[in-house]
A and B are shown apart, each in its own frame.
Chain A
Amino acid sequence: MASKTTKKAKPVETIKEEPIEIRRQMRLMQGNEAVAIGALDAGVNFFAGYPITPSTEIAEILAYELPKRGGVFIQMEDEIASISAITGASLAGAKSLTATSGPGFSLMQEGIGYAKITETPCVVVNVQRVGPSTGMPTSPAQGDIMQSKWGSHGDSPAIVLYPDSVKESYELTIRAVNLAEKYRTCVILLMDEVIGHMREAVALPDVANIRIISRIKPTIPPNWYKHYDENQKYLSPLASFGDGYRFNVTGLTHDQLGFPTNKKVEAHDMMERLRKKISYNIRDLVQIESRDMEDAKIAIFAAGITARSAKSAVAAARAEGIPVGLLRPLTIWPFPDDAVRKMLRNVDIVIVPELNQGQLIQELKRLTKDKADGDLIPIQRADGALITPLDILRVIREVH
């Protein structure tokens, strides 16, 4: 055979860049940047995503930084592929994360359900924008509060964290990765457009002082391994593909080994396991901020950027001598039932400002038994503008 001169492929020029040393002393930092650095500090080594405003900077920074640190960044064809890729990477042992906004979050719902039923740790950051559909890409809204819990079909207990500052975006990203690893589930970090794009002065803690949680690996002989072990207080060790442990992964309802089942008793066990690992650990999962609540007669219940407006309003109202306080959930799912019940008992009126047509307030109504409807006062807007401190202060003055 005549020898054909095969064209030699040009060697790919590998650019060996050193990772950018993250400046940890006080400096100006954007919310999305804080999320990206938080992910790196938490040990995330796999990102797959499809860039979308207002979350793009997270993908942008990780695209630069992950490969330099031995991690993987993949830009996927869409968000369904993105959530699938981070789930697969996690099954192979990676700490994985993706970032998106409303339209992408909607597409990811099926994959989020899959990560939950297969109990695979991963984190989805949703920097919310105005919806429905493509809505207003550069404007803030808090319309995904309910979707972040109920977006995927079937009962699926959720862990959803909600920061209100750049610093807290960093902290809660680390916490989201930690909780995903600990509880073997898909944890959602819900952000506001304004916080994702906002810059504030932030000093980061030393990496040595950050608490990092990684999944527990099985130590038993491989033939004893159950991927969904019932006897492990709902937080069972997790083997990765390639560790030598055999397990099956399916989105179908499964038994302890991961194989599909239609047996009611096994389906019951699986569903209870998914529920209990969240509901038996409320104290570990729920974080709230309580501000000026000791003597408050009026309370504001708000999350994210709306809580920033509320803090301004509380300070102004207190200066006028009005006893008002703020309760802010850092964890919105599971919902902080106990803290909210206590608040409802202790104050006369609760004001609930939110950038949607009424989502958080539904949860307060669920917990309001002996109060008249008039005691819960909504302030809602979903037109892409923020609720200002003055909007809230006016209502406080009115009801006082």
Chain B
Amino acid sequence: MSRATEIRLSGSGGQGLILAGIILANAAVHEKRRVTQTQSYGPESRGGYSRADVLISDREIFFPEATQFDILLALTQEACDKYIFDLREKGTLIVDTTSVKNISVMSEHVFEVPFTEIVSEKLGSPITTNICSLAFLVKCTGIVKEESLAQAIRESVKPAFVDLNLKAMQLGFELAENYRK
């Protein structure tokens, strides 16, 4: 019985993780897969914790939240500390080393990239760190096709920001390609 692939995108409020979750879920819908996207966040619009869960499957998904992650993206130290113990043994961990300095559980599939730093430097502002790290995740794991992600970005962000976000996506793909080369 094939189970759903469980993905958690985590960090702090204002980093755009829920939007990233919606985009990933949209990309999966374009590939005609079953999907649920849920989120949890504090009452504040910036700061505090924030996470988005995406479950992707070819069968009906019952429980919609991620409990044991196949893929965990952590953009803050706090999120990494909080969720790392629920990463599956062979799961993939992706962290933003701009904030994450300590990883308490090491496994073979760990990707450490200073996303916020790189995005700020190359695109002038850290605002698209969510899309860059999501694209990195997609390229490393192959969870959805790159074209599906691009299509989902075009549909999910405001027209004025499509180009910027596609650039961030491209940057994420390149970072993944060149990782550990």
Contact = CB atoms under 8 A, between A and B. Distances in A.
A109 B28 CA distance: 42
Interface stretch (B35-43, B109-117, B126-134, B141-149): B35-43
A26 interface: yes
B63 A308 contact: yes
A121 to B, nearest CB: 33
Interface in A171-226: 194, 197-201
B63 A388 contact: yes
A137 B64 CA distance: 20
Interface string A313-341: 00100010000000000000000000000
A198 B64 contact: yes
Contact of A28 (B1, B35, B63, B67): B35
Given A200-B36, A201-B35, A386 B62 contact: no
B176 interface: no
Interface in A359-398: 386, 388-390
A28 B29 contact: yes
A201 B67 contact: no
A305 B65 CA distance: 11
Contacts of A199: 22, 25, 35-38
25 contacts: A28-B22, A28-B25, A28-B26, A28-B29, A28-B35, A137-B43, A138-B40, A194-B38, A197-B38, A198-B36, A198-B37, A198-B64, A199-B37, A199-B38, A201-B29, A308-B62, A308-B63, A308-B64, A309-B62, A312-B62, A388-B63, A388-B65, A388-B67, A389-B67, A390-B67
Contacts of B65: 194, 386, 388
Contacts of A28: 22, 25-26, 29, 35, 37
Given A137-B43, A200-B35, A201-B34, A27 B64 contact: no
Q: How large is the interface on A (under 10, 10 to 19, 20 to 34, 35 or more residues)?
A: 20 to 34
A311 interface: yes
A34 B136 CA distance: 32
A285 to B, nearest CB: 26
| The 4 nearest A-B residue pairs measured at CB | A311-B62, A312-B62, A199-B37, A312-B63
Interface in B20-35: 22, 25-26, 29, 32, 34-35
A77 B42 CA distance: 25
A319 B1 contact: yes
Contacts of A315: 1, 62
A370 B42 CA distance: 46
Given A28-B29, A194-B38, A386-B63, 16 more contacts: A26-B32, A53-B43, A139-B40, A194-B64, A194-B65, A197-B38, A197-B39, A199-B22, A200-B37, A309-B62, A311-B62, A319-B1, A388-B63, A389-B62, A389-B67, A390-B67
A142 B117 CA distance: 43
Interface of A: 26-28, 53, 137-139, 194, 197-201, 305, 308-309, 311-312, 315, 319, 386, 388-390
Given A138-B42, A198-B36, A309 B26 contact: no
Nearest to B21: A199
Contacts of A308: 62-64
Most central of A137, A138, A139, A200 by chain B CB within 10 Å: A200
A312 B65 CA distance: 12
Contacts of B40: 138-139
Contacts of A311: 62-63
A137 B41 CA distance: 10
Contacts of A197: 38-39
Most central of B34, B43, B63, B67 by chain A CB within 10 Å: B63
Contacts of A390: 67
Given A199-B22, A199-B25, A309 B63 contact: yes
Nearest to B33: A201
Nearest to A307: B62
A133 to B, nearest CB: 14
Contacts of B32: 26
Nearest to A309: B63
Contacts of A194: 38, 64-65
A309 B64 CA distance: 8
Contacts of A319: 1
A26 B63 contact: no
Contact of A26 (B29, B36, B42, B43): B29
A194 B42 CA distance: 14
B63 A389 contact: yes
Nearest to B37: A199
Contacts of A137: 43
A138 B29 contact: no
B164 to A, nearest CB: 22
A305 B42 CA distance: 20
B61 to A, nearest CB: 8
